[in-house]
Amino acid sequence: MIEVPLGLGSAGHVQRIHGFYLYTTGHEIHPVGSIGEGTPYADALRTMFFAQAALNAFIDQSIFRLQTSREAAGSLLVILDRLTSNFQREEPITVYEAYELSEGLKAFETILNAEFAMMNVYLVLKKRGYDTTDLVHNGYVLFPPDLPLKVPDAVSDINAGTKCIAFELPTAAGFHLHRANETVLRAYFDAVSRGALAPAVPTMGAYIKELERLKLGTPTVRSALKDLKDLHRNPLIHPDQSLDSVDDAIALLGSIHAVVVPMLKAIPDPSAVVAAIGPPTP
């Protein structure tokens, strides 16, 4: 059975490709070139059926969306359709039929080779010790498991930030990771201040000043947040500043992880809050 790579989990317009699919597709299509004059029809029929099914799936259902080689694929399919239409046939493959199959396959593979050479197919290499699938699809798993429950609004930026690390866009990763950290900071402020009014200007600096003024949270968290703001966030918002490498982005990820973890510990679990106060009165 041919597996059609429609994308193993979507990440925007980035789709994970099952590499073995290309191997099995070629394995099913290429043998029609070995059908020669005198090949028993029953033997040729099986080979042509497998090639026909694989080629149909490849041009109409796979994520590769062939363009240049589609016409040549269609011509080869016309030949295969004609030669597989008579199940009662007993005569072996003729010299002309063998020639048709061979030339049709050769034309398709030649054009396909040229099209694949121009296609934007990339291999995303592992970034240090991080799993590529997690970076691209599920970056939030790099943080404590209660993050999506306690601060769900931070998940999209964390996922975008780790995806940028995977695709080597360190400055973009920095922006998303800082945004995620500030989202957690706001939830942290609400938790440790027990619902006090948030700063009128909701900047990271304003939140930190209010935490310090009211002596809220822990000194360690406040100090880590101030370092993040002064040494990382504020410089990065200027157009002439950027993160120079993936290692810089990974280092920032570590710094933000280090402060998000203790902030999450101070944020109550919503389900625990509901259990404590009871369900709403009807």
Mean pLDDT of 101-109: 98
pLDDT of residue 56: 96
- Show the domains of the chain with their CATH numbers: 10-118 (1.20.120), 132-277 (1.20.120)
Tell me: the pLDDT tens digits for 9-41?
444 567 788 889 999 999 999 999 999 999 999
CA distance 90 to 225: 80
Q: Which residue has the tokens 């975008």?
A: 160
Tokens of 241: 């500043």
Task: Average the pLDDT over each of 2-16, 21-35, 90-104, 190-204 and give the range with the smallest value.
Answer: 2-16
Q: For residue 239, what pLDDT band results from cuts at 50, 70 and 90?
A: confident
Predicted confidence (pLDDT) at residue 277 exceeds the cutoff of 60: no
| Residue 14, beta-bridge partner list | 11
Instruction: Indicate whether 8 pLDDT > 50.
Output: no
pLDDT at 53: 97
Look over the chain and give the mean of its residue pLDDT values, rounded to a whole number: 91
- More confident site: 10 or 261: 261
Query: How many CA atoms lie within 13 Å of 26's alpha carbon, on the beta-carbon side?
Result: 8
Q: How confident is the model at residue 88 (pLDDT cuts 50, 70, 90)?
A: very high
Partners of 10 in the β-ladder: 15
Tell me, what's the pLDDT at 43?
A: 96
CB 177 within 8 A of CB 195: no
What percent of the chain is modeled with pLDDT above 90? 82
C-beta separation of 62 from 116 below 8 A: no
What pLDDT does residue 271 have? 76
